[in-house]
Amino acid sequence: MLRLILILLVFIVLDFYTFQTFKVLFKSNIIAYSYIFVSILILGNFIYQIFTFDRSNGIPLRFSIAFSLLVLFYVPKLFVAVTLFGEDVYRLFSRLFSGNAEVLKTSNYISGRRKFISQIALGVAAVPFASILYGIFKGKYNFKVLKYTLHFEDLPEAFNGYKITQISDIHSGSFDNKDKVSYAVDLINEQKSDVILFTGDMVNNKAEEMKPYINVFSKLKAKDGLYSVLGNHDYGDYVHWKSSEEKQQNLEDLKGIQKEIGFNLLLNEHKFIERNGERLAIVGVENWGAGGFKKAGDLKKAATGIDKNDFKILLSHDPSHWEKEVVKDDYHYHLTLSGHTHGMQFGIEIPGWFKWSPVKWRYKYWAGIYEELGQFINVNRGFGYLAFPGRVGIWPEITVIELKKGTKPA
């Protein structure tokens, strides 16, 4: 309850400052109070959706719409509030130090708000508003191919130049444009990688979500095949089932769909890919996540039968697994591929230079390539989207990784 009260107070502060902007710029009670009405409507609808959320069918469309409107209208208000709060601080200190403290007793403080600052605040807020609007209508299908080259001294010679395409977090239950998804599948095939690896969350909750897209993803082709693991959403843990048998059947149906598409689903097991008498191991664990997520992954079981000196590529949906268990394992997993974070579907990124998202406060490894103790992890930003039907700054990703033998050139 305390958390809810604090959140509501934040919304009230945001609306207080934004209301001032409208009052100063438009000097119209009709516009100002229309703003209040719309804000109450959007916030009230979102609260209503939360308290009437029916988990039997996952995330309903009406909740996604309510969440989209909340993000679209309240994130820009944060920029307005920060701008005007900065002016408040400036006015407070400048007038205190000038010795004119009487202004602090002025009842009509809003009228003292400078029009110029209000225009700046609204102009600044227009940038995230337009960005979020773009993310909802275009950004969620703005697929990017990110390419990396990783060097390993102990890579088998036969696999020098080996190309991997990784996709993750399809979340097929969220899609609303089959043509865009088909375009992305064609983009994956255009990479002509040796193997395609999928790191979990094929659906939001139910296997039936993937049925309309079976024929689309069945077009995926790679010389050495397709391999996959399960993500936390694939188990159906986030909906209410009539029975445990129904839930288990849903999981079996999803396994069947993965097989129909052509994926070799790895459930705490491994497969070897062989070339010219040499091999590398594709190791796949079930979901293992810190912070309350399912811990079905069994790394020891998955590695049974693998030599310690084998070159290993691990598929593990949640990057917290790499941080907590994998990177310190004696077996030395050369490359781990994960997803899960989506990069929060929101952030600022200049490829190769800068990346930021609020999700970094939750996950140490949240997007891209990281190296620890001579081992690498790639955290894919995700193919699809969940809850918020859009992406802002953090685009849907297709990762292509080329393995090279030797040390990285200086």
The mean pLDDT values, 10 residues at a time, for the chain of 410 residues are 79 88 82 88 90 75 90 93 84 67 48 74 93 96 97 97 98 96 98 98 96 98 98 94 95 98 98 96 97 94 95 98 96 97 95 91 96 97 96 97 89
How crowded is residue 104: how many other Cβ atoms within 10 Å of its Cβ? 11
What is the predicted pLDDT for the residue at 79?
Answer: 93
- Evaluate whether 385 touches 396 at the Cβ level (below 8 Å): yes
Which is nearest to 385 in space by CA: 180, 127, 216? 180
What is the predicted pLDDT for the residue at 92?
Answer: 73
Q: What is the DSSP string of 223-252?
A: TT-EEE---GGGGTTTS--S-HHHHHHHHH
Superfamily of domain 141-405: Metallo-dependent phosphatases (3.60.21.10)
Domain boundaries, the chain: 2-137, 141-405
Residue 141: DSSP 8-state: G
What is the predicted pLDDT for the residue at 56?
Answer: 67
- Evaluate whether 382 touches 397 at the Cβ level (below 8 Å): yes
Could you give the C-alpha distances from 132 to 139, 140, 167, in angstroms and in order? 9, 11, 24
What is the predicted pLDDT for the residue at 61?
Answer: 80
Q: What is the CA radius of gyration of the chain?
A: 25
In terms of Cβ atoms closer than 10 Å to its own Cβ (0-12, 13-18, 19+), residue 209 is buried
Query: Using H for helix, E for strand and C for coil, what is the string for 143-188?
Result: CEEEEEEEEECCCCHHHCCEEEEEECCCCHHHCCCHHHHHHHHHHH
